[in-house]
Amino acid sequence: MSAPGRSRTFPITSYVLKIASRCNLNCKYCYMYNLGDTSYRQQPAVMSEHVVEAALQRIRQHAVHKGLESVKLIFHGGEPLLAGEAFFRHFVETATRILTPEVTPQFSMQTNAVLLSEKWLELLGELKIHFGISLDGPAEIHDANRVDHQGRGSYQRVAQAIALIRSRQECGRISTRVLTVVNLESDSLRVYKHIRALGAAGVDFLLPDGTYDAPPPGKSSSSDDTPYADWLIPIFDEWLDNSDTEFKIRLFENIVSLILGAEYTTEYIGGRQGSVVVIETDGGIEPVSALKACGEGFTKVGLNVLNNEIDEICEIPLFRPYLLGADALCGECKECPIVRVCGGGYLPHRYSSANGFDNPSIYCRDLSKLIAHIQNRTLNALPANVSSLPQLPRLSASRAAPSYLEESIY
């Protein structure tokens, strides 16, 4: 018989597989190595075959129980390519053996691209592993944070990898979307145009990880400033004005979809129930990795694929705010008119040692301003004969909304 509460577990559709717990870069803002959690030092450098087998058996068990026809398996790290070519081939073969035909695995990977080569591209294409690349902009911006262990910038190596990908015709089916961490010291439009000039398929802008105890650059727990919204808004305006649907910006596309009524969510916005679990190199089952920014050993909850089922996550208090989505938000967020779009923001960004996750996101003002701007521009761009769109409630001064929302929304 299942333990109490397991029947309430939401389907986990995606697994972030930390197949390598070390990295060949030492990015200054990295939640895994440079925001105070050193627990990675106690983990194996690479996931063993024993853990791979156990993890895939647990994933299959959960997927079949929940009636899932496919699962997303996301190779992550550290730097996943450090696991080596033989590891990837063995993993895909093992996943195919264990999961199919009942469950179809979909493989993807996030890489810093420093190790990408012709041989790697051939293998990733053969194994049908889609991938994204981390790049923060032009050389001086990228190299300000994304350095190796000798303090040297990594831009030239990443740019060479992107050029190599573009030179290979068969790589057209492989994602070359770029993941970019916002750097307030940079010119946002210059960053955007540079990424486009490199030939990427799109970009996913991420806010730097931080909490109320350790705020991200340019923010404080008491500030009403909106530097991150102010950085992103010019990019949205240019992207919208260009009407280029070929270049994807996930953050903006998701916000637009939510404004127009889509039931969509990511870890960062939307507020629906979480559907992603992390599996570490030692088999540890953990919630979203960026929670490592909340403190030493914060994500270590005592579950492991060697001993536990995936369904057991619902019994762990740290998983609940993520699994419950908007239902676990603080009272202030639940009363906010734009909560169905922002969803309270990314869970780690709501943390304080005083209140746990019972806070708005430290990026609350930025998210509010960005969403309001995108909503106005989106609705103004729609044809006049489009009606009956699901809309956010009107805001009024009596609800203590920030002044920019009172003035701009609708």
For residues 410 and 394, what is the distance between their CA atoms, to the nearest angstrom? 7
- Which residue matches tokens 């260009």? 242
Which are the contacts of 1, defined by CB distance < 8 A and separation ≥ 6?
none
Cβ contact 115:159 at 8 Å: no
Residues in the chain: 410
The 3-state DSSP class for residue 369 equals helix
**Distance between CA atoms of residues 313 and 319, nearest Å:** 6
C-alpha to C-alpha distances, 130 to 106, 246, 256, 352, nearest whole angstrom: 9, 18, 25, 36
Could you count the other beta carbons within 10 Å of the beta carbon of residue 130?
Answer: 16
| Residue pair 10/273 in contact by the 8 Å Cβ criterion | yes
- Write phi, then psi, for 91 (nearest 5 degrees): -65, -45
Cis peptide before 283 (omega within 30 of 0): no
Question: What is the SS3 assignment for 19?
Answer: coil
For the domain 8-325, what is the CATH superfamily, name and number? Aldolase class I (3.20.20.70)
| Sequential pLDDT tens for the chain (410 residues) | 334 344 456 799 999 999 999 999 999 999 999 998 999 999 999 999 999 999 999 999 999 999 999 999 999 999 999 999 999 999 999 999 999 999 999 999 999 999 999 999 999 999 999 999 999 999 999 999 999 999 999 999 999 998 898 888 655 544 568 999 999 999 999 999 999 998 888 999 999 999 999 999 999 877 789 999 999 999 999 999 998 888 999 999 999 999 888 877 778 888 778 889 999 999 999 999 999 999 999 999 999 999 999 999 989 999 999 888 888 999 999 999 899 899 999 999 999 999 999 999 999 999 999 999 999 998 888 776 654 555 544 433 233 344 334 333 32
Domain ranges of the chain: 8-325, 327-408
